[in-house]
Each structure stands twice: as structure tokens, then as C-alpha cells.
A and B are shown apart, each in its own frame.
Chain A
Amino acid sequence: MLTRIAFRNVFRNRRRSTITMLVLIFGATALILFGGYKEISFYGLRESTIRNRVGHLQIYKKGYLDSESQKPLEFGLENVRELRRAVESDPRVEMTVPQVSLMGLVTNGEKSETFLATGVESEKDQKMSAQRLVAGESISDQENDGVIVGELLARSMAVKPGDFLTLMSTTVNGSLNGMDVRVRGTFATGVKEFDERAIKMPLAGAQQLLQTTKIEKLLVLLKKTDDTDSVKRDLESRFSQNHWGLEMRDWSALATYYHQVKNIFNGIFGFLGIVVFLIVIVSVANTIIMSIFERTREIGTLMAIGTRRRQIWAMFFLEGLLIGVLGGILGIAFGSAVGELINQAHIQLPPPPGYTTGYQLRIMLKPSILVTVMVLSSVTATLASVLPAFKASRLKIVDALGHI
């Protein structure tokens, strides 16, 4: 009965209810958009990190992670083909990417600098598109001694695509080795320290320089990121069953930048969320207080005809709850609509530093966000009406009746 009255009151006081609900809708929309933007940013950064950089999983020889190797690839992976076949037999795996990294001196005949090279298969490197090509073309499996060079290194060595450099390094045995390479192209990652030293070369070329058939690590890319944990577990049991002496890391353990950004974003948006919440709760409280104030005579009348104080309180409480729930539903609807509009507008954002592809500005409408908004809205409105409702129920009937 009380509920029905509360319900009717809400619709009766159209102006007051509308204002309160507008505030709630504003708050809900703000939270949905902030939250959605944050989520899509995380998603984009996560997928970039995984697909362009670290892969979903990385497989090493046991001991690699803790080791202090004196010679290159002392803890390198052998029997690579067998391992790759075993991993790729899982239908959840999209591809495996073998990698070797090495350091040495690069010289153009006049000047020498240290370099950091990564040896990869050209086809896999294309799929991962880890760097943005600035000039020339990418590496090819047809040319084992064709490399691409960071643009700042290219500048320091005064080379452009087509020129030659000499790479000097040590083999896995500790012997010296040198290799003439042709610069096929230059790339930029946006990270200065990296572009000053980095070289990408075909895996076979790197192995030739190192005089080995081993690789440093095997990256595993899955079709769906959500499969990471289960695939990791399956692989781990497989490795121990076959006594292969391998160890693994998942992308989360390797994506330090991603976690740092996530923390910063959570901090910023957490703060924004609190601000929005405070604005909303103050506004809602304000309108409810005003609304109750304006209905003083009504309250007086109600009490005069025998409505108990407890019931007055409950009625206003219910009104607050109803407005909150209604506002929440409308807020979700409106916020989602705005979010979808933004998604349809296909606004492109520039790539974050160090990455090659930007992503589209999208609002990710995660159910958890919507539920949070709903709960917050209901709670806010209800809380806001608790005190005024209580106050209202404490009024002296005579004073209330005589109120303007």
C-alpha cells in the first residue's frame, strides 16, 4: 500500500522527480563513459602488448630466467621444431614465434656503436608488426643478412636502405664473429633508447652470427586471450610429463608497462568516479531536501489523518529508492546510447608511445560497469533521502500544517 503511494507520489511530483533523475542520469552516464573508456584502453593496450610485443606465453629452457650465463645462449632452447609442433597442436594456439637476441658492435667502417638485435622469422614478425617501418622494406627469409635498423641508429651510422653495415659479436663458444649485413629498412618505435640500438634480423642470420641452432625463447600467440591460463596449465603438465626441462611466463608477468598504465588509469578514473559520485549525491540530497521541504504541509496533513511517523519515513525512503532505481535504469539506457553513438562515430586515437597501431575510441559497455552504476544510483538516491525523510517524520503536526 505504502509502495503504491510512494510510486504515485514520484509521478505526481513530476518536476521534482525529473530534476532528481536528471542528476542521476548525468552521473550514470559520466560513470559509464569514463568506465567504458578506461576498459577499452586497457583492452587495447593489453592486446597491443600481447600481439605486438610479448605474446600470450613465453617458453624458455629451465634455468634461463634465473641464470647468469657467461656465454650467449648458454640456456637456449634446443629441439625447437619438436617443441613448436607440440605447442601448435593445440587448436587454441594461433602461432609460435621463435626469437633470439644478441648484442655486439655495429660499424659502418668508420664509427662503431653497440647494438641489440632480435632474430625473428620474417613472416611471424610481419604478423606481430612490432615496429613501424619508416623507410625501405621489412626483413625477408630470402635474405639472411638483410636487416632493419632503428632510425636513430641508422642516422648515427649514416645509412639508408641499401647500404651495408658490419655486425660484430661473439659466438656461443666465445669466439669472435662478424657479418656484413645490408640495411633493408629503418623502423621507429618511439622509444629513443631503443631506436638508438635496435636491429631486427632474420632468425637464421642471427643464428649464423652466433654459430648455433638454438633459440632464446619461444613466444606463443593464442586466438583468444582468455584461454591463456588454461593453455598455460595444459602446457605445463605436458612439459613435466615429457621431462622437457622448460619454464614459462604468461603475458601478465611480462607486461610491466601495461600494469603501470593500468594503475595510473585506475587511480585517475577512481578519483574522477569519486568526484562524480559526490556531485551526484550532493545534488540528489539537495533536491530531495527541497522536495520534502515543499511538501511539509502534505506531511502535516498525512500525520494529521493518522499516518504514523514510521510510515512517513518509510514512504519517503521508498520514494528515494524508486527514483534511484528508475534513474539508474534510465541512466544506463542513456549512457549506453551515448556510448554506442561514440562507437559508431569511429573516432581513431593515436598509438600510445612505443606502439605501432592506434585504436578506435570506443566505450566498452562491460556489465560490471552497468551493474555498479545501477547500484550506485539506487544507493545514492536512497541514502540522500534517509535523513530528510527522518527529519520530516519528526515534524510537529501543528507546525507542519501551518507551513507555507
Chain B
Amino acid sequence: MKRIQLLTAILFVLGSTPTSASALTGSEILKKVDSLRNPLSSFQIDVDLISYRNEASETWKMRVFGQGTEKSLVEFVDPASQKGQYLLMLNDAMWIYLPGTSRPIRISPLQRLMGEASNGDVARTNYSIDYDAELAGEAEAEGQSCYRLELTAKDPGVSYSRVMLWVSKKNYEPIKADFYVVSGKLMKHAYFREFGMMNGNRAITAIEIQDAVRAGRRTVMRYSKLQPKELPEKMFNKNYLGKW
């Protein structure tokens, strides 16, 4: 009897030994995910954006200056037609500055529905700050075993009110994310395609965003040359756009 009990006890212990991973909560996993994206508090990074519409594609090269998670300034470098343009993104508001004009133009949330601005919204999603995470089980994504996190927006003003995030069980790298709007409609698929070393740390180096509503539209963003950089406050003030 005792032997059986002992065996049962051992089996029970063995069987129920939790893997080290599932001890983490949804929000802890989320924090790990975010650390792969914005590891520095003040930085500069190069972004190559390739926009595909069916077979045709367009490429933009940009340099992004970021401070914390709320402020980023995008400088367009290539193609020549975009060179000199700046996009300032502060929390909820977005401004574009065109060279030769005297004032930046505010981009309304509505206008961000169109074109690559919508992908910009997706790419700079601040998971841990804007969303509450709940571990909703496990699933396979892109051939990897993942945790499925269900993210709900903390604020009604957040662009995408719900996100489904698949995080690799092995190393907490995000694999895939689905973005939903208030009505429950799926709008975007995001795939975290490549990871590499940037500034001595592991980071996401390529992300692909597919439009779930309009066929044939996808965008690939490649990140490189991440480096810490001291940035003046002026840089993130819309009144100074284009003036330095």
C-alpha cells in the first residue's frame, strides 16, 4: 500500500511538475515581449519599409528617433520624393511635416486608417502600456509552440481594442499577432519574422503586417542599426518640426 502511494505520489509530482514557463502571468510574458522591441529609452534606428500591393512593391527608407515609448520622430531618407519629410508620433497624435511648408499637418485618427500610417500604428503598438494581458492557453503558430495571450485595450482611445498575441514558449519571442477593432472585426495580421542582434541585444529585426480586410496588401518592415542616442526635447515638439 505504502509503495503504491509512494509511486502515485512520485507520478503525481512528476506529472504535475510545472514547466518553468507557465509560472509567468500574461502581463509578465508581455513585458518580456516588449523588451525585444524597445530596449532603449532614447535611441535611433533605421527602418526599411517595403509595401506590397499584390505583386507590385514600393520601398521607403527611414530613420526613427525614439524617446521612451510615447515619442518617436520618423525621418524619411529614401526615395527622393519623400526625403526631407518628417512624421512625429506622440502617444495619440500624429503630425506630418513636408519640406517647403511652414507648418506640420496633423493627421487625424481617421486618416491613419489609410495607407502605411495604419501599419505604423500596428508596428509601434505598445503592448504592456496599452493593454491588459491574459494567458488564454497554448497554440501553434508558424510551426512553433506558443502561449496565446489575449490583450484588451486599457483605454477606449487605443487604436486596436483587442490583440491576440502568440508568444514562443521557448524564448518568449512574439511570433504572430492579430489585431481586432471594437466591433470584433479582424483588421491586421502581424508576423514577427526575423530576430537578430542589435546594439548587443536580441531584438525583432523584421515584421510583416498583412491587411486582413483588403486582399493582397502587406508591408514588411526591417529594423537595423539600433543605437542609443541622446535626443533633445525639441525634437519631439511639433513646432520645431523641420526647423533643425
Contact = CB atoms under 8 A, between A and B. Distances in A.
B214 A110 contact: yes
Contacts of B92: 174
B181 A105 contact: no
Contacts of A168: 113, 187, 213
A211 B156 CA distance: 10
Nearest to B158: A175
A289 to B, nearest CB: 73
Q: How large is the interface on A (under 10, 10 to 19, 20 to 34, 35 or more residues)?
A: 20 to 34
Interface string A172-185: 01111111100000
B237 interface: no
A175 B215 contact: no
A342 to B, nearest CB: 52
**A contact patch SS:** strand
Contacts, number: 73
Contacts of B112: 176
A118 interface: no
Given A104-B113, A175-B181, A110 B156 contact: no
B159 interface: yes
B81 to A, nearest CB: 22
Interface in B87-135: 92, 108-110, 112-114, 118, 121
A184 B132 CA distance: 39
A83 to B, nearest CB: 25
A208 B109 contact: no
Contacts of B185: 166, 177-180
B5 interface: no
Given A107-B213, A168-B213, A175 B159 contact: yes
**B contact patch SS:** loop
B109 A174 contact: yes
Given A104-B113, A168-B113, A170-B113, A177 B213 contact: no
A62 B156 CA distance: 25
A112 B211 CA distance: 12
Q: How large is the interface on B (under 10, 10 to 19, 20 to 34, 35 or more residues)?
A: 20 to 34
A209 interface: yes
Nearest to B121: A176
Residue of A70, A105, A169, A170 with highest tally of chain B CB at under 10 A: A170
Interface in A154-209: 166, 168-171, 173-180, 208-209
A255 to B, nearest CB: 29
B160 interface: yes
B44 interface: no
Nearest to A112: B214
Contacts of A110: 214-216
A105 B182 CA distance: 16
Contacts of A103: 110
Interface of B: 92, 108-110, 112-114, 118, 121, 153, 155-161, 181-183, 185, 187, 213-216
27 contacts: A70-B108, A103-B110, A104-B113, A105-B113, A107-B213, A109-B214, A110-B216, A112-B214, A166-B185, A168-B113, A169-B110, A171-B182, A173-B157, A174-B159, A175-B158, A175-B160, A175-B161, A175-B182, A176-B109, A176-B113, A176-B118, A176-B121, A178-B183, A178-B185, A179-B183, A211-B156, A211-B182
What 5 pairs across the A-B complex have the smallest Cβ distances?
Answer: A173-B156, A170-B109, A173-B157, A178-B185, A174-B157
